[in-house]
Amino acid sequence: MPLDTQNAAAPEGAAHSPAGVRREPRETALRGMRGMIATRMRESLQASAQLTHHAGAELGALQALRRHCRAVGLPAPSVQDLLLRLVVQTLAEFPALNATLEDNRITEHLGVHLGLAVPLPDDLLVAPALFDAQAIALGALPEARRELVAQARAGRLGVRELTGATFTVSNLGRSRVHHFTPILNLPQVAILGIGGTQWRAVPDDEGGARLSEVIGLSLTFDHRAVNGAPAAAFLDRLGERIETLEPDAFDHELRQ
C-alpha cells in the first residue's frame, strides 16, 4: 500500500499547534541555579560510591494512630509528618547515617539537621535543613516544615539552611513511583526516598493473606562511609517502627 504523504508527520521544528501557531523546540541553558544543581548532581555521582537499598512498610499502624487522634480530639498528623518523626527517632539509633564525609573524614553529628527536598518552579530543587529536628515534637513539626518550605519557595533561605543538613528525605509519596534512587546531597552520607503506596497481599497470622497498604522506602548511602549491613538495619528498624507504632504513641507530643 502506498504511503499517504499528505498526512505524513511534519519534521521536528515545523510542528504546528491546533490553533495553527508554529511551535519551536524549547531550549534551556544549564546556568544559574539549574546549572548549579546539574553540576552538584554530576559531582555527587562522580565523587562518591552510591548504593541504594529498597524496602517497604505497612501503613496500618500509622493510619490507626491518625484515627485514634481524631477519636480523642487531637490533631491527626499527616502520614508525611509521622514518617519524618520516625525517621528522626531511628537516626538516633544509627548515628553513622546522620553524618557527613569531607576531606576523608567522617563526622557523625549530634543533632539531626533534617534536609527536606523541596521542588521549586522551573523544575528546580533544594533541600534545606530543619535544624535539630530531634527536638521538634510531632505537634510542632507540621508548622516547622511548612515554614521551611514557604521560605524555600520564596527564596528567603541562606547558605546555612541550604547546606546545613546532615540527612535528607525526598518524598514522592503522592506519585505512582513506589521505589526510586535518590542522589546523595554531598557531603551527607545518606538520603531516604519515600515513595508512593501500593496495596499488596501480605501474610496474616492464620497462614493466609490479607491486603495491606505498603509504602516504598529507598535509602541511598555512600559506601565509602556506610556498609550495606548497617544501611539495611536502618531500613529494617524504620520499617519496624512504622508497623508497630501504638495508636497513642505521640499523644504527649500532640498535646503540647
Q: Please state the pTM of the whole predicted model.
A: 0.89
pLDDT digits (tens, 9 = 90+) for 25-65: 988 888 888 898 899 999 999 999 999 999 999 999 999 99
Evaluate whether 155 touches 86 at the Cβ level (below 8 Å).
Answer: no
Residues with Cβ within 8 Å of 21's Cβ and at least 6 positions away in sequence, in order, are: none
Whole-number mean pLDDT of the chain?
92
Sheet holding 209-222, edge to edge: 50-58, 209-222, 190-203, 167-171, 114-116, 129-130
Q: List residues with catalytic annotation.
A: 223
Eight-state DSSP code of residue 93: T
pLDDT digits (tens, 9 = 90+) for 209-233: 999 999 999 999 999 999 999 999 9
Eight-state DSSP code of residue 251: H
Q: Which helix (H) or strand (E) holds 164?
A: none
Q: Which helix (H) or strand (E) holds 110?
A: none
d(CA 5, CA 80): 54
Domains contained in the chain, CATH given: 34-144+155-254 (3.30.559.10)
Backbone angles phi, psi at 60, to 5 degrees: -55, -40
Q: How confident is the model at residue 6 (pLDDT cuts 50, 70, 90)?
A: very low
Evaluate whether 47 touches 186 at the Cβ level (below 8 Å).
Answer: yes
Residues β-bridged to residue 219: 53, 192
Closest by CA position to 212, among listed 222, 201, 204: 201
Peptide bond into 11 cis (omega under 30): no
Q: Angle, to 10 degrees, between the axis of helix 79-91 and the axis of helix 141-153?
A: 100
Would you say residue 17 has pLDDT above 60? Answer: no
